[in-house]
């Protein structure tokens, strides 16, 4: 309800008979702290320096030294669900985010669309006089609502944020990201050739937003939600940062785990008696690797470490600015990760995460040959499993799974003006849902019963503010359920029951799952399964899990093949056979763009070529990691198809374009599965032809590069041009006509979604 709905003045027939009235401006509580949430991506429990790593994270270490480290903090094991917990204070299934937005299903716990009845932190703080800003990764908007023609109802500005600058998907290219500013797409402020990197950019924007606030209302508190792309793949970092780690990981992951574990024990981060979990059988011993494979694996880790240190540095710039303007002392800072370290790189590591679901792979020999490109803009690198396990030291398993390696994460809390303790650890059990209630508790505020006229659901989290200055206070949380992709766990009063469910299991029988039981208060790394010794305790916990599951929309429990999810019929807008694009329009997300995969199609551009000639992009989709492009260069029409960075198939016209109006076209005639014959035409006449033996089957990009007309916004699809390479003649429109039904490989799409979250 508007504050003007209850007018407090008098309205007469004339001004002299009337009394004006103004509502009292919203005033934040006296001395209300600023709040900064720094949420990293895919950073394991052991990867901050202050949590035992030898990776340089001086900013995070400094925050820990001046604040608190929570060593018993937990998340959901996956990206979107944890972010939903942090921003709403509710369990992820209760708000419909049981999985990432890309794997939504038509059930209450899994639809991926957080309703307004589940208010976000900025929706709670804005009415209390806070400025609210989000920068960096979002990943809380469904795929079909991310394009520029979609509703903005689940975009950041509709969920309480005053300003937003960042990216929407699970990941993006760090040197050429797909950026959104408030409610529209924008290009990065400079190119990767000019030294651009996303971590620096989002730090700049966070500083800019606070500076704008400070210039106008220096007494107004802020809530800043700063989410780095680090350290989700691709592990991109500036070359000079990678060089700092040259040779640092040559001893391998086994020694790194042992040394890190020793530091963790020395610093008292783990309960007394905690053991280092054994390296899994499916992860090779470092000493078993051939020399070349060791060299490449070490470089993969150098890139990751550089990525993390670089992000730490730029978060430090934000903190330094807050100190400069006198705000840092009264800023409540949370630093956390959304899940355990990522295993998507596979046993050998990955050069391009788009390849597995496009029927292609990466050979170790290729990685050896391209070792100096790792961490740079031409690859999409992700480290091998050995480093994943090391990053989660001392715990078992990894991201997407609910053993501790997937859900135990670092948490740092700092508030110089409000926390007397310095450099201490806290071992109380804390979950991501507890952050929002803690913020409200610090502000002495109750969760609002109504937001924008909508009655609110209860919060599931509980404040842990009472632990700030009391290391011995009992934990406020004694029970927490977990479920992710069929993996399940329940924590209760120092005990944990957990069961692993393999991905893509076509015939799961949940009734026959073998639950494990751990007394995690004494065995934090889950080394000693007590299921056989304590059957009654196990039955008690499993029954508790089912009660929690029913209360939190976890049911129906489902690990059906993911192709069933992507093959599920959903309401759709009418299918088209013709798509029209204009050069003045913004990028079109791949989900909303024309699907030309495994279909005959024709791309037609209506242009005017001036007397001096013209060149530039007509239509582009994807990037150097994979895609296609139709363009004019040096007077000739060109088509290039880049198959996941492995092969480039090109067709070039044999005749130059003359001045005047022309119809330029590319026709693809399908000759087999994911292959065909391409033909270039000028005014209907064939000017070039060639085979495309490997046409991308599933996805051109996993970094949300989008389809563009008349320019290329990100990394170029091929090296023939430098983005944006705008068409210099007059481009009226580009039309794409397609034959047959859209091709979708459900299993590959599911794998893509899991890798890109």
pLDDT tens sequence across 364-388: 899 999 999 999 999 999 999 999 9
DSSP annotation of 434 reads G
Side-by-side strand order, sheet with 495-499: 479-484, 487-492, 495-499, 516-518
Dihedral of CA 183/189/190/195: which sign? Answer: negative
The stretch 183-205 carries a mean pLDDT of: 96
DSSP 320-358: HHHHHTT-GGGEEEEEEESSS---TTTTT-BSBTTSGGG
Coil, helix or strand at residue 283? coil
What is the rounded CA–CA span in Å between residue 573 and residue 586?
21
Nearest CA-CA partner of 429 in 494, 352, 349: 494
Predicted local confidence at residue 481, as pLDDT: 98
Q: Lowest-pLDDT range, 215-224, 362-371, 621-630, 717-726?
A: 362-371
Coil, helix or strand at residue 253? helix
Tell if the pTM clears 0.75, that is, is over it. yes
What is the rounded CA–CA span in Å between residue 62 and residue 228?
18
Q: Which residue has the tokens 């993911």?
A: 562
What is the rounded CA–CA span in Å between residue 421 and residue 493?
26
Q: Are 253 and 390 in contact (CB under 8 A)?
A: yes
Angle at 698 between CA 696 and CA 701, to 5 degrees: 80
Q: Which residue has the tokens 């700063």?
A: 226
- Structural domains of the chain, ranges and CATH numbers in brackets: 34-141+186-477 (3.40.720.10), 481-559 (3.30.1120.10), 578-741 (2.60.120.200)
Phi, psi of 410 (to 5 degrees): -75, 145
Nearest CA-CA partner of 328 in 121, 33, 67, 32: 33
What confidence category does residue 563 fall into, taking pLDDT thresholds of 50, 70 and 90?
very low
Predicted local confidence at residue 410, as pLDDT: 98
Coil, helix or strand at residue 192? helix
Predicted local confidence at residue 353, as pLDDT: 82
Nearest CA-CA partner of 383 in 341, 411, 415: 341
Tokens of 597: 């995969």
What confidence category does residue 107 fall into, taking pLDDT thresholds of 50, 70 and 90?
very high
Predicted local confidence at residue 356, as pLDDT: 72
Q: Which element (helix H / strand E) includes 408?
A: strand 408-414
In this predicted structure, the answer to whether residue 293 has a pLDDT above a threshold of 80 is yes
Task: List strand residue ranges (DSSP E) for 306-376, in order.
Answer: 331-337
DSSP 102-167: GG--SSTTTS----TTS--HHHHHGGGT-EEEEEEE---S-GGG-STTS--TTSGGGGT-SEEEEE
Q: Are 498 and 403 in contact (CB under 8 A)?
A: yes
Q: Which element (helix H / strand E) includes 551?
A: helix 535-551
Tokens of 472: 């011995």
pLDDT tens, 573-591?
A: 456 899 999 999 999 999 8
The stretch 697-702 carries a mean pLDDT of: 86
What confidence category does residue 355 fall into, taking pLDDT thresholds of 50, 70 and 90?
confident
More confident residue, 1 or 45: 45
The stretch 79-95 carries a mean pLDDT of: 98
Q: Lowest-pLDDT range, 64-73, 432-441, 463-472, 574-583?
A: 574-583
Q: What are the angstrom distances between the C-alpha of 262 and each of 46, 52, 257?
A: 11, 8, 9
Q: Which residue has the tokens 């495994």?
A: 598
Average model confidence (pLDDT) for the chain?
Answer: 93
pLDDT tens, 621-642?
A: 999 999 999 999 999 999 999 9
Predicted local confidence at residue 234, as pLDDT: 96
């Amino acid at each position: 309800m508007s504050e003007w709905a209850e007018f407090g003045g008098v309205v007469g027939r004339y001004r002299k008979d009337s009394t004006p009235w103004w509502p009292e401006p919203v005033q934040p509580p006296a001395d209300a702290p600023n709040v900064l949430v720094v949420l990293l991506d895919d950073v394991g429990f052991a990867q901050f320096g202050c949590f035992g790593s030898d990776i340089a994270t001086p900013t995070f270490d400094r925050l820990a030294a001046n604040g608190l480290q929570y060593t018993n903090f937990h998340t959901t094991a996956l990206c979107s669900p944890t972010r939903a917990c942090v921003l709403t204070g509710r369990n992820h299934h209760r708000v419909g985010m049981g999985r990432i937005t890309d794997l939504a299903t038509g059930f209450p716990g899994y639809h991926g669309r957080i309703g307004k009845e589940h208010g976000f932190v900025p929706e709670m703080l804005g009415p209390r006089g806070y400025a609210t800003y989000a920068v960096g990764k979002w990943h809380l908007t469904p795929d079909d609502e991310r394009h520029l023609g979609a509703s903005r109802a689940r975009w950041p500005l509709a969920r309480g944020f005053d300003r937003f600058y960042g990216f929407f998907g699970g990941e993006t290219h760090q040197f050429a990201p797909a950026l959104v500013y408030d409610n529209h797409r924008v290009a990065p402020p400079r190119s990767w050739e000019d030294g651009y990197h996303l971590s620096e950019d989002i730090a700049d924007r966070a500083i800019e937003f606070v500076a704008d606030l400070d210039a106008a209302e220096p007494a107004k508190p802020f809530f800043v939600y700063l989410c780095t792309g680090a350290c989700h793949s691709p592990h991109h970092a500036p070359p000079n940062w990678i060089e700092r780690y040259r040779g640092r990981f040559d001893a391998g992951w086994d020694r790194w785990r042992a040394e890190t574990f020793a530091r963790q024990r020395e610093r008292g981060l783990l309960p007394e008696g905690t053991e280092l979990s054994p390296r899994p059988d499916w992860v090779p011993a470092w000493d078993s690797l051939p020399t070349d494979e060791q060299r490449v694996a070490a470089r993969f880790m150098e890139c990751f470490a550089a990525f993390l240190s670089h992000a730490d540095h730029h978060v430090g710039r934000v903190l330094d600015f807050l100190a400069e303007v006198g705000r840092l002392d009264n800023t409540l800072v949370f630093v956390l990760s959304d899940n355990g370290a990522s295993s998507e790189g596979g046993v050998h590591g990955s050069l391009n995460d788009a390849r597995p679901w496009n029927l292609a792979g990466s050979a170790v020999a290729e990685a050896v040959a391209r070792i100096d490109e790792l961490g740079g803009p031409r690859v999409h690198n992700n480290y091998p499993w050995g480093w994943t396990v090391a990053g989660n030291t001392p715990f078992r398993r990894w991201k997407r799974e609910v053993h501790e390696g997937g859900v135990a994460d670092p948490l740092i809390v700092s508030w110089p003006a409000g926390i007397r303790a310095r450099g201490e650890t806290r071992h109380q059990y804390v979950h991501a849902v507890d952050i929002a209630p803690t913020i409200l508790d610090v502000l002495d505020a109750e969760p609002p019963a109504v937001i924008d006229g909508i009655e609110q659901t209860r919060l599931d989290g509980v404040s842990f503010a009472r632990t700030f200055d009391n290391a011995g206070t009992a934990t406020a949380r004694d029970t927490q359920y977990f479920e992710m992709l069929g993996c399940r766990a329940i924590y209760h009063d120092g005990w944990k029951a957990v069961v692993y469910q393999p991905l893509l299991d076509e015939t799961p029988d949940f009734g026959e799952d073998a639950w494990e039981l751990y007394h995690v208060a004494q065995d934090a790394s889950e080394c000693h399964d007590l299921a056989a010794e304590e059957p009654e305790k196990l039955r008690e916990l499993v029954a508790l899990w089912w009660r929690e599951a029913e209360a939190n929309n976890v049911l129906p429990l489902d690990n059906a093949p993911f192709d069933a999810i992507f093959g599920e019929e959903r309401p759709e807008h009418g299918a088209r056979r013709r798509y029209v694009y204009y050069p003045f329009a913004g990028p079109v997300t791949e989900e909303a763009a024309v699907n030309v995969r495994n279909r005959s199609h024709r791309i037609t551009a209506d242009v005017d070529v001036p007397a001096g000639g013209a060149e530039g992009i007509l239509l582009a989709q994807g990037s150097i990691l994979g895609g296609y492009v139709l363009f004019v260069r040096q007077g000739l029409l060109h088509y290039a198809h880049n198959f996941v960075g492995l092969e480039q198939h090109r067709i070039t016209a044999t005749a130059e374009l003359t001045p005047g109006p022309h119809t330029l076209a590319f026709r693809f005639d399908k000759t087999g599965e994911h292959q065909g014959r391409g033909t270039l035409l000028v005014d209907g006449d064939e000017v070039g032809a060639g085979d495309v033996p490997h046409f991308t089957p599933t996805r051109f990009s996993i970094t949300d590069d989008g389809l563009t007309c008349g320019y290329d916004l990100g990394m170029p699809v091929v090296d023939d041009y430098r983005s944006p390479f705008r068409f210099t003649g007059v481009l009226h429109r580009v039309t794409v006509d397609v034959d047959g039904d859209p091709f979708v490989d459900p299993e590959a799409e599911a794998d893509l979604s899991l890798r890109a979250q």
